[in-house]
Structure 1
Amino acid sequence: MSQTSFPALLSHITIGGMTLRNRIVSTGHETHLNEQGKIGDAMIAYHEARAKGGAGLIVTEVALVHSSAVFVADPIRVDTDECIPGYSRLAKAIHQHDTGLIAQLFHPGREMLASEDGTAPVSYSASATPNERFHVMPRPMPCEMITQITAAYGDAARRMQTAGLDGVEIVGSHGYLPAQFLNPHVNKRKDDYGGSLVNRTRFIREIIEDIRRKTDPGFVVGLRLSGDELSHEGVDQSEMLDACETIAAAKQLDYFSVVAGSSATLAGSIHIAPPMFQEVGYTAPLGQCIRERTGLTTIITGRINQPQDAEKIIASGQADMCGMTRAMICDPQIGSKAKAGRTDDIRACIGCNQACIGHFHDGYPISCIQNPISGRETRLGEVPPISGKRRIMVIGGGPAGMKAAAVAAERGHDVTLFEREAQLGGQARLAQLLPHRAEFGGIITNLTRELELSGVDVRKGVAVDEALIREYTADAIILATGAIPRWPDFEGRDDAHVVDAWQVLRGQVAIGNSVVVADWRADWIGIGVAELLAQKGHSVRLAVNGYMPGQTIQMYVRDASIGRLHSLGVQTIPYMRLFGADENSVYLQHIMNNEPVICESVDTLVLCQGHIPDNTIETVVRKLGIEFHLTGDCISPRTAEEAVLEGLLAGRAV
């Protein structure tokens, strides 16, 4: 495909005083790459990789305009001039690649996720209306504080202009402070900021006015809103449309950035970074309605992972620009590849949420399970050269082996990958069989393309043994032999009908009507197998060795899954360890007091008890004395994220 394949997506657009080379946007998202609240080398390198890769516009992550806005430890703050040097360095780095740069200005209101020192801060909102997700009771903002915070937005915008940015974006999406004033269920004020729509939009309109007073005419001012908060007592689509029309009427706003959902509820929060079960571009109709009602430039964000999808949205008039944020976390070069017609070479995001927003929630810098360089540009951005071409044998064709082989071959080595199965992919082939996880198979497609581009010789259906290793005469071997299901010892294991998750997913075993899933890992396997069997009509009890199903996976994925389990009638039993089984019962222990819990009338026990490394070939290689490198589950069973990262490192080490 050529550039003409994406005439809408790759066309120029002018917003205020800013002209962009294309319609691809990296929207504001938390990276955890700031350095003590300031922008430093790591964040600059991260955003510059997307600018180099062809992004038309980059919007930086939320920056706090006021001391009352602190909602996480060590946030970026723009409430003093100390922020200007960091943003200035970022602007110079981004602008040299012909990419626009806009900063998000933020106040969470009652949406307080954490604090700076562990003590709960006082949160402020339009009214004393608590939120459901974080259980925060806010303090109503006095009028003098509203005036102060309004001015803080304007002062922050002035600082961004001084730093050389093209504009700012007011974050009113996902139920944050500006949206709390908009929402009649939250805003119960009786003064000029509550009641009528005009009053409820006053806070936003005054912020925009203050920014306009303190910045030059061409400086871009945008507003991010949820087209529908999709939450209990959230702002619905019709209310938001009326609000947008009222805000736009003043003709001081340059664009709307439209998303969905709300931070205030668990159900609404999944739309902050919608998991793979959400349809591609599902927010586009919300943006289209706002665009048609207001006539303003509109950016749409929400599961737009491929240029083909963005092209359709823009060409059809649903939006002027597309936020492709996770798509660029996964492949920063998506813009340049689309322009060059290399769409088959794009590493497509699979919406797993594990290393992007999952890292943020766990307090770690952003990355991607498929692209470990994301967030590690300063450490892994440069590929080490080879001193001489070597003959490399990679054993195992799961994500770890595929990545290792591709990286080693890309560097210039002669690489052959051996996989004993007829297909590549390892456990990813099983993961894609679970409900709402089909897109996970995209990691196999993406890595297969990397193998093709790097020229790896792939040999499938070949079981490696000592004779083959001797025959190949490798200079170095990368072992990526993976793991196998763990079957712990327990009473009655040989008497009851016991199977493991792999056997279930491969369709190798019959399953009785009444099932107990014994989930030791509390990850996507146990919760997914329980949902799969319930969908097929089985009566399912999910016994979890933790305090909830999916305890170890990203919260948006987990929470949505728990909701589906409830709808399917799955009984979840937390704090359980497997003790034993017989012909019709499963015996559990409460992990806090060892008291017995008996599940009666059980036909089948399904084990989701983790994995053990497959080290058979490692033993052989050690005996032969050949240089070798371990990667992935054969070191220690974990996830695809660690497998791909270690594969990259192994491919660079040989």
Structure 2
Amino acid sequence: MKISAQGSSRYPHVFSPLQVGPMTVHNRLCETTNTIGAGRLEGAPDDAFIVHHVAKAKGGMAWIGSETWLLDAPMPSEAKDEIIPGGAAMRFPLYYSPDVMTAVQRFVAAVHEAGAVAVFQLTQLNAVFGPSAVPVSGAYDWVSHPCTPDEIEHFIAAYANAAAAYHGVGVDGVELHAAHETLLHLFLSPATNRRTDEWGGSTEGRCKLLVETIKRVRATAGPGLAVGFRFTAGEARAGGFDLDEAERMIRHICREAPPDFVNFDVGHSWGDPPYVPTSFYPPALGADRAKRLRRAVNEVNEDVKVLYAGRVLTVEMAEQLLEDGACDLVGMTRASISDPEFALKAAEGREEEIRPCIGCNRCIDNSVHGTGTGLFQLQQRAMCSVNSTAGNELYWAANYAPARQQRHVVIVGAGPAGLETARVAAGRGHRVTVLEQHDHLGGQVWLAGQIPGREQFLRFVDYHQSNAARLGIDLQMNTAATADSVLALSPDVVVCATGSVPLVPPIDGADDPSVVQAWSVLDGSAPLGRRVAIVSQEDGMETVSVALKLAHAGHEVEVFHHWGGIGNALGRYTVPPVLTRLEELGVVCHSRVRVTKIGDGRLDLQSALTGRGSSVEGFDSVVLSCASRPDSALHDELRTAGFGRLYLIGAAWTPRGIQESVEHGMKVGLEV
């Protein structure tokens, strides 16, 4: 949807058109390519895929990158196709299928009807082929097969043939993926390209594959197709190229094979910062690099446009980047996942209605590492911790309707599940009362927001506070609910979103008053001494969050983890910044040790593998970080009392992530 003149006046740079080669973009906001698994088929743009991505065009974004399009590889005889997290080495790309291309044509037409352009990213992301037989990245131990000249020719032709095929069904532009450990990136990086022939060695040699590919794509696809590439503005890995080398490379590429656009980001798949920066990083952390490279690009060819992507949170921030000359186009992909209508809302002065991205990275972590929901896996779909509709667009469209009969819905608990139920139910016309025992909203999301580097989580709490005022939700804070007090409100429906409570493990001394729970540390209520031991029996963010908060406050911290290591459940873009900060703060971590007894500043330990015993002492305080259990007592009491329309949701049902709680709340809000 094209933004009105009023929107243009609010953000004149953002909502101004731009010519990118042969492609006219009606504003500067881009959904950069993100393989979130929006479709239910293996990569084909089905109805679920189309409605997810086109919603962003309808919401005001001018550039739709959708998801990456994997190309064919010259697999040797009898070798199986390989599927890896986020990519694949396969003989037959999707564009070989007439049915897929018919679906692509339908998708592109829908993007155009919504007023946006469709830019397809073409990629060889397989870790099987590379310039040299070295590990692809620090995230995995994959070692590539070194490409022969014939295989290099195959890959150049594969990019060109795919570009021509997609252009033939209406695609406006193609982006050659030359970052994120793709084949083109592996050739560009001195960390992975150890060749001494014409395809390696010097800056020019390492750039040759990308240069030749751009030339072939233009020659094969013909005029009318915008051609660009994604590029890392400096690698965060040992032996990789720095910003100075990135500038030399960009100047060379833009001289030899000028693209229509370059899409810059920063980082590494397993480094600090990662390509997809979390809330632990400042917004737009690579914009200064993009600005320098934009100057270099324009000195070579002023027609080449620069797109910057990297945790741009608001349209106001995008406006500032454009005004400062950091870029010509701004990627705001995660912002568009959390709220596909953010652009339109900003243009209309409704910023308080924008559902904010909190930088938790559930979207990318799920798509790369998701069980049953990742790329090429059954039942794959998009996910977002704060947007319950992401991946559920068709479900929402089929089930959302104004309430036929207004009911009084009483929700106990203002955590993510309860707040989302309230938002949806009130939006449908129900009268909603929320009872919350604390003086703040958000539940465990509020707790997460107390951690240095995760303050952005409180934006989600603020969003729901604004929703409550706008929708007329009655928030009753500092209200401890009982069965009698709930029934006294004469509810038609009761939703128990009472969350969970910390687990106390069967450790001798764990219930001693001197031992405190992780949540008490996060909310600031626990008295603690200087030297603190954390007993960890969970693999997510709780342990690392407590350790970070304590270390930032000046405590000496040691973690005793029951298995492989803290943060094992975190994705590859999420765990590096956390572990980096713990290391910098001097937090000591012990793995594969189980605490058997706590007392008098001493921990008795047992190896998780051999059972061998040991002990450590000298701690002033002990913190338990051992996950949580459902708190369903109120629900059980109301059910015993015979109350009819009763729901148990979120962590009160079973503790999981924010996404699971928010989605559960949305579905109950649609049902009541």
TM range (shorter): over 0.9
Matched position secondary structure for 2:476: strand
* Structure 2 counterpart of 1:72, from 63, 79, 84: 84
Matched position secondary structure for 1:228: strand
Q: Distance between the aligned counterparts of 1:62 and 1:575, measured in 2?
A: 39
Matched position secondary structure for 1:527: helix
Unpaired runs of 5+ in structure 1? 113-122
Q: Distance between the aligned counterparts of 1:38 and 1:615, measured in 2?
A: 42
Q: Distance between the aligned counterparts of 1:523 and 1:588, measured in 2?
A: 22
**Which residue number corresponds to residue 6 of structure 1?**
11
**Cα distance, 1:614 vs structure 2:** 2.4
Contact 1:174 1:229 in 2 (8 A): no
When structure 1 is superposed on structure 2, of 483-492 and 271-280 the one drifting more is 483-492
**Which residue number corresponds to residue 650 of structure 2?**
632
When structure 1 is superposed on structure 2, of 544-553 and 300-309 the one drifting more is 544-553
Q: Distance between the aligned counterparts of 2:18 and 2:179, measured in 1?
A: 24
**Which residue number corresponds to residue 554 of structure 1?**
571
Code of the aligned partner of 2:294 = R
Q: Distance between the aligned counterparts of 1:58 and 1:594, measured in 2?
A: 55
**Which residue number corresponds to residue 436 of structure 2?**
419
Matched position secondary structure for 1:272: coil
**Which residue number corresponds to residue 118 of structure 1?**
none
Contact 2:339 2:354 in 1 (8 A): yes
Q: Distance between the aligned counterparts of 2:635 and 2:368, measured in 1?
A: 35
**Alpha carbons of 1:2 and 1:459: their partners in 2 closer, same or farther (altered >3 Å)?**
farther
Aligned residues: 639
**Which residue number corresponds to residue 129 of structure 2?**
124
**Cα distance, 1:54 vs structure 2:** 1.2
Residues 483-518 of structure 1: CA distance to partner in whole angstroms, max 9, x if unpaired?
A: 222223432345573111122223333212322101
Residues 548-583 of structure 1: CA distance to partner in whole angstroms, max 9, x if unpaired?
A: 101223333222212222222222122233321111
Post-superposition, which runs of at least 4 consecutive aligned residues in structure 1 deviate over 6 A? none
**Which residue number corresponds to residue 93 of structure 1?**
110
**Which residue number corresponds to residue 612 of structure 1?**
629
Q: Distance between the aligned counterparts of 1:495 and 1:389, measured in 2?
A: 49
Q: Distance between the aligned counterparts of 1:36 and 1:642, measured in 2?
A: 23
**Alpha carbons of 1:92 and 1:593: their partners in 2 closer, same or farther (altered >3 Å)?**
same
**Cα distance, 1:79 vs structure 2:** 5.7
When structure 1 is superposed on structure 2, of 609-618 and 491-500 the one drifting more is 491-500
Contact 1:2 1:340 in 2 (8 A): yes
* Structure 2 counterpart of 1:603, from 620, 630, 634: 620
**Cα distance, 1:191 vs structure 2:** 2.6
**Alpha carbons of 1:97 and 1:37: their partners in 2 closer, same or farther (altered >3 Å)?**
closer
Q: Distance between the aligned counterparts of 1:313 and 1:628, measured in 2?
A: 49
Verify: 1:327 aligned to 2:335, yes or no: yes
Matched position secondary structure for 1:425: coil
Contact 1:393 1:416 in 2 (8 A): yes
**Cα distance, 1:589 vs structure 2:** 2.9
Contact 1:356 1:368 in 2 (8 A): no
**Which residue number corresponds to residue 56 of structure 1?**
62
**Which residue number corresponds to residue 369 of structure 1?**
385
Matched position secondary structure for 1:227: strand
**Cα distance, 1:142 vs structure 2:** 1.3
Q: Distance between the aligned counterparts of 2:308 and 2:550, measured in 1?
A: 36
Verify: 1:257 aligned to 2:263, yes or no: yes
Aligned-CA RMSD value: 2.1
Contact 1:129 1:186 in 2 (8 A): yes
**Which residue number corresponds to residue 643 of structure 1?**
661
**Alpha carbons of 1:634 and 1:190: their partners in 2 closer, same or farther (altered >3 Å)?**
closer
**Which residue number corresponds to residue 514 of structure 1?**
531
**Which residue number corresponds to residue 355 of structure 2?**
347
**Cα distance, 1:353 vs structure 2:** 0.6
Residues 435-473 of structure 1: CA distance to partner in whole angstroms, max 9, x if unpaired?
A: 321111222112222223322121212222334323211
Verify: 1:275 aligned to 2:278, yes or no: yes
TM-score, structure 2 as length reference: 0.91
Aligned-residue identity in percent: 29
**Cα distance, 1:261 vs structure 2:** 1.6
Matched position secondary structure for 2:271: helix
Q: Distance between the aligned counterparts of 1:531 and 1:195, measured in 2?
A: 42
**Which residue number corresponds to residue 20 of structure 2?**
15
Q: Distance between the aligned counterparts of 1:149 and 1:384, measured in 2?
A: 50
Q: Distance between the aligned counterparts of 1:47 and 1:417, measured in 2?
A: 33
Code of the aligned partner of 2:657 = T
**Which residue number corresponds to residue 222 of structure 2?**
216
Contact 1:496 1:581 in 2 (8 A): no
Residues 278-306 of structure 1: CA distance to partner in whole angstroms, max 9, x if unpaired?
A: 11111111211221111220000001011
Residues 168-214 of structure 1: CA distance to partner in whole angstroms, max 9, x if unpaired?
A: 00000134222222233432333322233333222111111111111
Contact 1:399 1:447 in 2 (8 A): no
Q: Distance between the aligned counterparts of 1:494 and 1:334, measured in 2?
A: 47
TM-score, structure 1 as length reference: 0.93
**Which residue number corresponds to residue 576 of structure 1?**
593
Contact 1:79 1:155 in 2 (8 A): no
1:108-257 aligned at under 5 Å gives the runs: 108=125, 112=127, 123-133=128-138, 134-250=140-256, 252-257=258-263
Verify: 1:621 aligned to 2:638, yes or no: yes
Q: Distance between the aligned counterparts of 1:256 and 1:641, measured in 2?
A: 33
